[in-house]
């Protein structure tokens, strides 16, 4: 599990503060609200699924924003690129 120095969830500071788990209260990317930036905590699934998502930029701690949902797909903005993935694939990506 990753840790960040924080004063409150989402606010980063230096070593004067205690560590808070980055991935507490995870939700699947498929349930994230459009327009809200979240961070990837982990990816569930087979190794080939994880490698495929990694190749698209879905890596641990990466910021991602759901843009919209359309015809069973989730359109996200990751690393300044819009990517469409199936809702089932988005359900395998856990975010905070």
CATH number at residue 54: 2.30.30.90
Tally of domains in the chain: 1
Q: Specify if 29 maps to a domain.
A: yes
Q: Specify the higher pLDDT residue, 12 or 68.
A: 68
Q: Specify if 5 maps to a domain.
A: no
According to the model, what pLDDT value does residue 2 have? 44
Closest CA to 57 of 29, 20, 36: 29
H-helix segments, the chain:
47-55, 87-90
CA angle 16, 39, 36 (to 5 degrees): 110
Contact 38, 93 (CB under 8 A): no
- At 25, the pLDDT band (50, 70, 90 cuts) reads confident
Give CA–CA dist 70/62, Å, rounded.
23
Rounded mean pLDDT of the chain? Answer: 84
Q: Specify if 71 maps to a domain.
A: yes
Cβ-based neighbour number of residue 1 at 10 Å: 9
Q: Which domain holds residue 44?
A: 25-95
Q: Specify if 12 maps to a domain.
A: no
Q: Specify if 4 maps to a domain.
A: no
- At 22, the pLDDT band (50, 70, 90 cuts) reads low
């Amino acid at each position: 599990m990753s840790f960040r120095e924080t004063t409150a969830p989402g606010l980063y500071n230096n070593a004067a503060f205690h560590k808070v788990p980055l991935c507490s209260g995870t939700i699947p990317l498929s349930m994230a609200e459009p327009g809200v930036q979240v961070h990837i905590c982990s990816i569930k699934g087979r190794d080939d699924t994880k490698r495929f998502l990694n190749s698209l930029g879905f890596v641990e701690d990466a910021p991602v924003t759901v843009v919209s949902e359309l015809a069973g797909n989730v359109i996200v903005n990751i690393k300044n690129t819009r990517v469409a993935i199936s809702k089932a694939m988005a359900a395998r990506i856990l975010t905070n």
